[in-house]
Amino acid sequence: MSKAIEKEFVGSRMADEQQFVTFFIDGDTFGIQAGKVQEIIGMTEITYVPRTLSYLKGVINLRGAVVPVIDMRAKFRIEEIAYVSTTVIIIVEVESRLIGLIVDSVSDVLNIPVKGINETPHFSSRIETDIIESIGQVNDNLIIIINVEMIITQREFEEVKYSGKRV
Amino acid sequence: MGDNEIRQAFLTEAKEIIENLESDIVQLEENAGDREIINRIFRYFHTLKGSSGIAGFTEVYEFSHKIENLLDAVRGGKIEVTDSLIDLILDSMDWIRDSIFTEGEGDAAMNERKSILLGKVGEFKKPDASVEKPLKSEDAAKARAAAHEKEDAANKYKYYRVRASFIEKIFEFGIDPLMVMEDLASHGPIIKNIVDKQNLPEFEGIDPEKCYLSWDIIIKSKSALNQINDVFIFVKDENKITVEDVTSQYMSEEKLHAPVYEKKLGEIMLESGIISENELDEAIALQNVEGKRFGDIIVNKGFASEEEVEHAIKEQAILKKKVENTTVRVDTVRLDNILNLLGEIVIGQSSLSRIAHEMENDYGTQLKNIIYGLDRTTREFQEQIMSIRMIPIGPTFNQFRRFVRDIAHSLHKEMKFVLEGEETELDKTVIERIDDPLKHMIRNSIDHGIEQPEERVKAGKDPAGTITLKAYHQEGNVFIEVNDDGKGIDEERVREKAISMNLIKPDEEASREKLLSFLFMPGFSTAKKVGDLSGRGVGMDVVKTNIESLRGSVEIRSEKGRGSSVKIKLPLTLAIIDGMLTKTGNNTYIIPLLSVMETIRPAREDIKTIEGKGEVVSYRGEYLSLIRLYEIFNIKPRYENPWEALVVIVESGRTKVGLLIDDMIGQQQIVIKSLDNYITQSRAVSGASILGDGKVALIIDIFGLMEDVVSA
């Protein structure tokens, strides 16, 4: 961690600052509200589940609970790679249910002042915008803040339901 | 007791009273002369009044007081029970319910409602001249009572004593006494069952083809004597069967077991005549104002002596103990937690069992035996816990009386409402979640099924339509039926709608079952106009989803002109089942043992392909459809040829199929973990479970699997 980031992290939080768990996917940095993250675990055996969203890889055993896991690369339609030692699963809580997000690797927990997405007009993304909550900036790094509640939308869910195929 | 606790206790009590009240008031409408019901209703309002006063709901207290006075006049014969009186009582009860639970007191709209209601109450109590009035109402009541007597008798429970002793060689006649007994049991709950084992010889001497047992049974049933006798019609001649009506003996016994409930101090003192009603009311009002102890107020005002108060306090304590001894209120969350813990024990046991099986020596055998014992204990433990959560469906069914009445009135149709199997028990969660689906089905029946009275008379039917709600246990499942004797479902209209929705082509053949199954599609409704109740097309598909989320299934049957029947099937055990572990490719799948008939390795020639049916496997002289599990789940198997792998013969309902799997791993108790809706759309997967080695295995639902195959 650079000194600058350290100061912001260790220092008191400012009014429009929140805490985020940041992680990497294909070189980009993303963040999720720290309050929504329950834990981070290493890659573990995934049980395949038939007839589901293409980015839902299956379910895992989290200390006795059966939790579904989503591959974020697949979700963002980025080329999928083999899981390596740094690949982790971030367990988040959405509407009192747990979901696991598979990401390349995890970074630090940061206090970030947030800017609305409208404030960065040149921003173009290969990711669908409803999942992006806002953009944060720490020094020169842009951190894409993700809204976990929008991870699986009703629309996608319906598509699987009525097509009967993997979407 | 703190203020908040008093409030909470009152809310719980009020809810129960209001539920009972609703049912009773509607019953009063059908049995206007029934004094018992009138008295009960009066007591309910009286209790509501008292408790609301103590809990600080002053407006409710005052209002209930007025209604209670009205009812006092009714039970004294001064006011006749008429439709408008019933409406008034129902509306008043609604006001009280809203006041307590939703609107609170002092709301302008509520005040207006109250004034209107009180105005009506005033009109009833207008002192109307003659002594003749009370007599007339009594006569009318008597006439109504006589007319309803026949119906009453049919609805009342009777007790029968059945003594059955079969001849030894009865099996040789192809008769199984057990089937006869099960038939008997379908008429109602068995209260007492004594099996006479006198003639049973020592184990070595038992001939399995002889019947040595006889039964002495007490059964509680609404059926008539001849119906019970009919159960034994084929065996009556050669065997010793006696059926006696012993209702008189048992009815009095039931009164002894009347429910005991906690009484308030004031109530006790009132009932024993120590204080008068006015004094009681005054004391309650004072208590709200001064906040002193009830007993103190009574003594201070001189309504009773200190000794009398002490005596009443002692009586209250005794009653309280009696209630505490018989029941405990348990938070269902705690029960859920216990079940979860039990689930973890079962998983732990599986791990132990696996290790024990890998141990070759003596220790291994000892360990295995201990684990078998543990297994039996957890199984029983589970059954006990499940039974705590089981409550009879009666109260839920009874709640619908009001519902049926209201709908019937608004649609100008006449309705009769019959309940069967009220004592059937279901898990509390299931009962709570089945409430809405049932309401919807009843609504549908009344709205679409039952015809207007004139139409019915023209068709030679009773002008009043009948809706029957039936609940019973069968083969580890609970069945609930909603039957109506209306005009049935119009297949032609269904067909037209299906064509317009592109579900089938205009010239395509469709079986009746297929047509009826379309009713469960979202957006499907053949109602000509959208009534204010149903016909919005949101209905049956939501009902189906709700019931499937309880791992149940729903089926519609109908006969044109005669009526329709919707049958819901729900599993009794929600959490732990016996499962067969199977492997296909790299995946482990669990098949519920209940569905498994046999596992075979077919010969090459046993596998054929039949035109129009697809692949089949020969099993005991039949050809059953062969389902390749790896195809359904889109995975890579180890074996594609059935003669190199295994085929599990599974059954759901009356259909059997052969399921192709790679290998069978074993059998164990499975703790079912449900999967959220979005995780999979496959109906073949009903849940997941965690195996002894920590891996997750999906549980296959055979019924869903067959559905998926059919619709693929």
Chain A residues touching B542 at Cβ < 8 A: none
Which residues in chain B are closer than 8 Å to A61, comparing Cβ atoms? Answer: 690, 694-696
Q: Which residue of A has its CA nearest to B678?
A: A157
B680–A51 CB contact, under 8 Å: yes
CB distance from B712 to chain A under 8 Å? yes
| DSSP class per residue in B625-660 | EEEEHHHHHT---S--SGGGSEEEEEEETTEEEEEE
Distance CA B492, CA B515 (A): 9
Q: Which residues of B touch A50 (CB under 8 A)?
A: 632-635, 680, 682, 684-685
- Reported as a single tens digit per residue, the pLDDT across B292-309 is 777 888 888 887 777 778
The answer to whether the beta carbons of residues A139 and A5 sit under 8 Å apart is yes
Which pLDDT tens digit goes with each residue over B36-53? 888 888 888 888 888 888
d(CA B383, CA B499): 48
CATH of the domain at B210: 3.30.70.1110
How confident is the model over B272-296, as a mean pLDDT?
74
Question: In the beta sheet, which residues pair with residue B244?
Answer: B161
Q: Which of B22, B29, B59, B68 is catalytic?
A: B68
Whether the CB-CB separation of B445 and B484 falls below 8 Å is answered with yes
Query: What separation, in Å, do the N-terminal and C-terminal C-alpha atoms of chain A show?
Result: 40
- Taking the CA of residue A157 and the nearest CA in chain B, the distance in Å comes to 6
A152 contact residues in B (CB cutoff 8 A): 678
Contact A49 B673 (CB under 8 A): no
What is the reported pLDDT for B575?
64
What is the 3 state secondary structure string of B382-393?
HHHHHHHCEEEC
In a domain, B14, yes or no: yes
Per-residue pLDDT at B476 exceeds 80: no
Residues β-bridged to residue B480: B471, B568
* Predicted confidence band of residue B2 (pLDDT cuts 50, 70, 90): low
Q: What is the mean pLDDT of residues B447-461?
A: 86
Mutate to test the interface with B, among A48, A149, A152 (most CBs of B within 10 A): A48
Chosen from A41, A60, A66, A75 to mutate, greatest number of chain B CBs within 10 A: A66
- Residue A152 in tokens: 């699986």
Chain B's closest residue to A153, CA to CA, is: B678
Give the closest-approach CA distance of A89 to chain B in angstroms. 17
Smallest Cα distance from B529 to chain A, Å: 28
If residue B141 lies in a helix (H) or strand (E), which one and from where to where?
helix B132-155
- Integer CA distances (angstroms), B611 to A109, A115, A154, B616, B643, in order: 63, 66, 41, 10, 21
Q: Which residue has the higher pLDDT, B502 or B277?
A: B502
Task: Kindly report the pTM of this predicted structure.
Answer: 0.53
Helix (H) or strand (E) holding B96: helix B83-98
Q: Does the pLDDT at position B578 exceed 90?
A: no
- The residue out of B523, B542, B571 marking a domain boundary is B571
**Domain boundary at B538, B555, B571, which?**
B571
Q: Is the same domain home to B121 and B165?
A: no
Could you tell me what percentage of chain B is helix, strand and coil, using 3-state DSSP and rounding each to the nearest 5? 50, 20, 30
Per mean pLDDT, which of B135-149, B275-289, B317-331, B614-628 is the most reliable?
Answer: B614-628
Q: B87 vs B253, which has greater pLDDT?
A: B87
- For residues B580 and B601, membership in a common domain is answered with yes
Residue keyed to tokens 């980031």: A5
Closest residue to A61, CB basis, from B633, B680, B694: B694
| Residue B69 structural domain | 3-134
B301 within some domain: no
Q: Cβ–Cβ contacts within 10 Å for residue B577, how many?
A: 20
B482 and B509 belong to one structural domain: yes
Which is more confident, B551 or B63? B63
Token pair 């037209």 in the structure block, residue: B496
Cβ–Cβ pairs < 8 A, chains A and B: 65
Q: Which residue of B has its CA nearest to A62?
A: B694
Which of A52, A65, A97 lies closest to B680 in CB terms? Answer: A52
Cβ count within 10 A of residue B596 = 20
Phi/psi of residue A139, each to 5°?
A: 55, -120
Q: If contacts are CB pairs under 8 Å, which of residues 646-675 in chain B contact chain A?
A: 673, 675
Same structural domain for residues B604 and B662?
yes
Helix (H, G, I), strand (E, B) or coil at B436: helix
- Residues B460 and B536 placed together within one structural domain of the fold: yes
Window from B213-222, B402-411, B526-535, B615-624 with minimum mean pLDDT: B526-535
Task: Please name the residue of chain B whose CA is at the shortest distance from the CA of residue A68.
Answer: B679
| Chain B residue whose CA is closest to A164 | B681
* B464, B453 Cβ separation under 8 angstroms: yes
Distance, in angstroms, between A62 CA and closest chain B CA? 9
Catalytic residue among B22, B29, B31, B46: B46
Binary contact (B676, A97; C-beta < 8 A): yes
Of the residues A47, A57, A67, A157, the best mutation for testing chain B's interface (the one with the most B CB atoms within 10 Å of its CB) is A47
Of B634, B677, B711, the CB nearest to A50: B634
Interatomic CA distance for residues A101 and A74, integer angstroms: 11
Residue B702 has pLDDT above 90, yes or no: no
B364 assigned to some structural domain: yes
Closest Cα of chain A to B289: distance in Å? Answer: 45
User: Residue B274 pLDDT more than 60?
Assistant: yes
Rounded CA separation B81/B61 (Å)? 24
SS3 letters across B534-559: CCCCCHHHHHHHHHHHCCCEEEEEEE
Contact call for B633 and A50, based on CB within 8 A: yes
pLDDT in the model for residue B263: 63
- Per the annotation, the verdict on B105 as an active-site residue is no
Shortest CB distance from A52 goes to which of B344, B681, B690? B681
> Higher confidence at residue B587 or residue B107?
B587
Q: Which residue in B643, B707, B661 sits closest to B681, CA to CA?
A: B707
Asked whether residue B384 falls in the same domain as residue B401, the answer is: no
DSSP B41-76: HHHHHHHHHHHHHHTT-HHHHHHHHHHHHHHHHHHT
Annotated catalytic residue, options B398, B444, B483, B546: B444
Q: Which of A49, A53, A157 sits opposite B698 (nearest CB)?
A: A49
Residue recorded with tokens 């149709």: B413
ipTM, two decimals: 0.81
Classify residue B599 by burial, with Cβ atoms within 10 Å: 0-12, 13-18, 19+.
middle
For residues A120-159, b (16+ Cβ closer than 10 Å) or e, as one string?
A: eeeeeeebeeebbbbbbebeeeebbbbebeebbeeebeee
Write down the pLDDT at residue B464.
Answer: 86
Are B546 and B630 in a shared domain? Answer: no
- pLDDT score of A41: 94
Q: Are B670 and B689 in contact (CB under 8 A)?
A: yes
- Spell out a b/e string for B463-492, using b for 16 or more CB atoms within 10 Å of the CB, else e: eebbbbbbbeeeeebbbbbbbbbbbbbeee
Which chain B residue is nearest to residue A166, measuring alpha carbons?
Answer: B681
Given a cut of 50, whether residue B655 has pLDDT beyond it is yes
B684 in contact with A, Cβ within 8 Å: yes
| Res A7: pLDDT | 44
- Please give the angle made by the CA atoms of B220, B224 and B226, to the nearest 5 degrees: 120
Q: Which of B61, B64, B59, B62 is nearest to B41 (CA)?
A: B64
Q: Classify the C-alpha dihedral A30-A35-A40-A46 as positive or negative.
A: negative
Instruction: Specify whether the CB–CB gap between B425 and B390 falls below 8 A.
Output: yes
pLDDT of residue A45: 92
Distance CA A160, CA B269 (A): 67
Q: Coil, helix or strand for B95? A: helix
| Of A54, A65, A123, residue with least CA distance to A99 | A65
Asked, for residue B587, whether it belongs to a domain, the answer is yes
CB pair distance less than 8 Å for A56 and B679: yes
Give residue A46's domain range.
3-163
**What CATH code is carried by the domain that includes residue A157?**
2.40.50.180
Residue B316 lies in a domain: no
Q: Are residues B587 and B662 in the same domain?
A: yes
CB within 8 A of B156, min separation 6: which ones?
Answer: B222
Q: Which helix (H) or strand (E) holds B243?
A: strand B240-245
For the stretch B145-154, pLDDT in tens is 454 444 445 4
Q: Chain B residues with CB inside 8 Å of A51's CB?
A: 680-682, 685
Helices (H) and strands (E) in chain A, counts: 3, 10
For residues B434 and B546, the model is more confident at B434
Q: What value does the mean pLDDT take over residues B261-284?
A: 71
Q: Taking 90 as the threshold, does the pLDDT of residue B157 lie above it?
A: no
Structure-token pair, residue B661: 């799997």
Looking at chain B, which residue has its C-alpha nearest residue A161?
B681
pLDDT in tens, B52-85: 888 888 888 888 888 888 888 888 878 888 888 8
Q: Which residues of chain A have pLDDT under 70?
A: 1-16, 114-129, 153-167
- Please indicate whether, in this complex, the C-beta atoms of B682 and A160 are within 8 angstroms of each other: no
How confident is the model at residue B598, as a pLDDT? 94
**With contact defined as beta carbons under 8 Å apart, do A67 and A59 qualify?**
yes
Question: Closest to B695 (Cβ–Cβ): which among A47, A157, A161?
Answer: A47
Q: In the 8-state DSSP scheme, what is residue B138? A: H
In chain A, the residue whose alpha carbon lies closest to the alpha carbon of B634 is A50
Q: Are residues B588 and B650 in the same domain?
A: yes
- The per-residue pLDDT for A158 is 55
End-to-end Cα separation, chain B, in angstroms: 62
Q: Which of B634, B679, B694 sits opposite A59 (nearest CB)?
A: B679
Instruction: Label residue B129 by pLDDT band (50, 70, 90).
Output: very low
Q: Which of B95-99, B124-128, B385-389 has the highest mean pLDDT?
A: B95-99
Query: Does one domain contain both B584 and B540?
Result: no
CB distance A48–B635 less than 8 Å? yes
Residue B269 placed within a domain: no
Element (H, E) at B695: none
Q: Is B440 a catalytic residue?
A: no
B337 vs A91, residue with greater confidence: A91
When CB atoms are compared, the residue of B678, B688, B690 closest to A152 is B678
Q: Is B420 a residue of the active site?
A: no
> Nearest CA to CA, how far is A74 from chain B (Å)?
16
> How high does pLDDT run on average in chain B?
80
Q: Is the pLDDT of residue B532 over 80?
A: no
Kind and range of the H or E run holding B421? none
Say what the pLDDT of residue B103 is.
Answer: 66
Q: Specify the CATH number for the domain of residue B502.
A: 3.30.565.10
CB contact at 8 A, B595 and B652: yes
Q: Which residue of A has its CA nearest to B585?
A: A48
**Nearest of B64, B58, B71, B67 to residue B28 by alpha carbon:** B71
Domain edge (last residue) among B571, B605, B629: B571
pLDDT tens-digit profile of B214-229? 888 888 888 888 888 8
Which of B682, B688, B694 shows the shortest C-beta gap to A51?
A: B682
Residues B688, B670: Cα–Cα separation, whole Å: 9
> How many domains would you assign to chain B?
5
Same domain, B501 and B648: no
Between these two residues, B5 and B168, which has the higher pLDDT value? B168
- B268 found inside a domain: no
Task: Give the per-residue pLDDT at A126.
Answer: 57
In this predicted structure, what is the pLDDT of residue B417?
87
Tally of domains in chain A? 1
The reply to whether B555 and B410 lie within a common domain is: yes
Q: d(Cα B85, Cα B81) in Å, to the nearest integer?
A: 6
Regarding predicted confidence, which is higher, B105 or B31? B31
Chain A residues with CB-CB distance to B690 below 8 A:
61, 64, 66
Q: Is the residue at B639 inside a domain?
A: yes
